[in-house]
Structure 1
Amino acid sequence: MRITVIGTGYLGAVHAAGMAEIGHDVLGVDIDPAKIEALADGRPPFFEPGLSELLARTREKGNLTFTTSLRAAAEFGDLHFICVGTPQQRGSYAADLSHLNAVVDGLAPYLERPCLVVGKSTVPVGTAAAVGERLAALAPVGARAEVAWNPEFLREGTAVQDTLHPDRLVAGVVSAGAETLLREVYQPMLDEGCPFVATDLATAELVKVAANSFLATKISFINAMAEVCETAGADVVTLAQSIGYDARIGARFLSAGLGFGGGCLPKDIRAFTARAEELGVGRSLNFLREVDEINMRARHRAIAAAKDLVGGTFLGRNVTILGAAFKPHSDDIRDSPALNVAAAIKLQGAHVCVHDEEAIDNARAAYPALEYAREPLKACEGADVVLHLTEWPQYSALDPAELAKVTNVPRLLEARNTLDVRRWRDAGWTVRSLGRAA
């Protein structure tokens, strides 16, 4: 099948490579010539495990190419996936749909034969229907440029696996023909037994934001429990483990600590509440505002705990930050809790040095006032306190005794609850953990 993928950011680049991997002829489209050049050369513009290898295989097969031309996309494809970002609007909780609208307005005038335009971006409910009306009005082929919505469920760090072996596929369609076409696109996944849910446009749009809202709620729930545990002298790690054995609850996303960040969960729950207000059902999602507040409060709690460790002031202190990406196995720093904490501590007069396995270059570009080190040992030299803020598995393998030798004072704030705290204490460290009694 001849497919275009418009927008080759995180979602689009992985989707384009995945569709080529399963045998389709794919044309990736982006307005950034540098990004297109890098992808055409087999170089991902961001870090994602397995993506380089996937691009290399598709280059060998020759069924993945790239362009900056929407005219070329319209001439090439019978099915167009839109994979552009929908960030939060400045000064508002609502989603910014300008990138999506620009694609629709740019592509539509070149659609001269029947086709299917499939949105994968996370959008407010009602957007797909509006896109359909927009296409019908602007495309020479009119309403035969049909719209469907096929939300993505990628997780950064496992996006390649999630694309090639998804746990479900959801398609919002307005015709049986569109459903049939999407089933053909994903036939290899269906042959593996992947569930395929065909529904209306609105439900498909809501599935993604509902899923993200539930996961965000689960994370904020356990962080709320962490606040209670700290005050009551309890242990949130044991608490989470215990309730996670209940099959109705489950252990995933019950990791107390610094909370969630990234380019999806924060802006998606905010856009969801904004859209609910527009629809007149804002009260039904009031709890998401509390979810957001709990999440942001975890960052303030980490700062307060670290300040307490160094005697009540950061002025003149040397602070080491282990982690810059919003999550491990990624170089994405969008709404990174770790960098948010690092920058706030810097503003309070500390000298802050940051280490990360992959995100240092991105972090340096966004936060040039911070110091950076390529090795954890170097980052910890002269530290008055070390903050573990991104749960890279490499940090669990560090030797706390070796790190203690290079610090000024071996003090650790464990904000992700993935390190062996007893091992660090045995090596002479004073350790404070979020969600555990001081």
Structure 2
Amino acid sequence: MKMYDIIHNKREGKKHSAEEISHLIEGYVSEEIPDYQVSAWAMAVYFQGMDAEETAFLTEAVVNSGDRIDLSPLSGTTVDKHSTGGVGDTTTLVLVPLVAAAGVPVPKMSGRGLGHTGGTIDKLESIPGLEVEMSRREFLDQVEKVGAAVVGQTANLTPADKKLYSLRDVTATVDSPPLIASSIMGKKIAGGADSIVLDVKTGSGAFMQKIEAARKLAELMVGIGKELDRKTLALLTDMSQPLGRMVGNSLEVKEAIKTLSGEGPEDLEKLCLELGAAMLKAGGYSPDLDEAQSRLQDQLNSGNARQKLAEIIAAQGGEAGVVEDTGLLPSAENVESYRSPAGGYIADIDARRIGRAAMLLGAGRETKEDEIDYSAGIELMVSRGDPVDEDQMLARLHHGKKADLEEAEKLLKGAFSISGQPPANFDFIIDLIE
């Protein structure tokens, strides 16, 4: 089997066999197939696409390229959740303790942030003392004892995906639906969970900004789950404006604690209840979404979910007292106000601009080597549709000495759209794809 023929076949729009995909991935990981040939293949896939079966072949080959986490020692059906990335996307910090409090084991591997999107591991590391690295045995023991654990991804999990992503990043093939789908699902399946729930974002703050592309991606990943015998559900959600009010690491931990206390933003709580209900249904813990949401609401109202977060933090060596006193979290040296240039209604808040501005304040990374200021970020004082007066505070900018405050403020000037009329109502939860 020759790599030339594999590239040629895809260039001509032909379907790959499982053997062709395995040959490609094994050869690339072992460095027998060079970057330039895989680059040519990735571009052929970008233009010709792959169907659900082909993408499942690629996903399975990616999974088989490295370690697989065996979760079979755990009691019950395990459920994992993944978001395709957004701004102020605090859902994992709320969902993991919420779903675990309902009796569902949640073994969660998460990543770090890059660019305008935040990473769950960075948010957790803003909690004093909390460790996100542990052995496989420690990981399993914590899930069995506490009900959940959130850790960084192991070094040898899906090495093929790491190589492919680096190549796609420099060959303009990142936004290929089958390559995105196999990357996400490869990591989720290698992580070992029995069921998977996906939060597929669309809008200005998402990687897939057009709803048609996001829907196609969601359907493709649900199809991969079916092909590989994983119960998979996907919610299609809008990321045209930031989720919640906080963007930044310790700021989002504070907001997660408020949400688990029943005092969080309405949109964040609603999305977490919807995603959590999908997790209970996917894992076979609830017969339908309404019953599942009711159970989760009970966990919020009783304080069980908030207590579960404290247990998870303590189990991972962190200062569990932050749940009672968020003043223990890092706070910025400086807080500036950004005010409205005119009166009217907030017609739109550009999530990507907000995310980029937060990154310039120190909350994110431009490159993987950049250091994060855990206290930095943006606190939104308004949401889409709110009436505002001229000179009213729209946001608070939390930053330290190394922040690029001038550039961040320039981004904010274009982030808030103000209109004389209130915008039409819309539901940011667009669809459920099963």
TM-score normalised by L of structure 2: 0.33
Bigger RCO of structures 1 and 2 (CA < 8 A, at least 6 apart): 2
TM-score normalised by L of structure 1: 0.32
- Max radius of gyration: which structure? 1
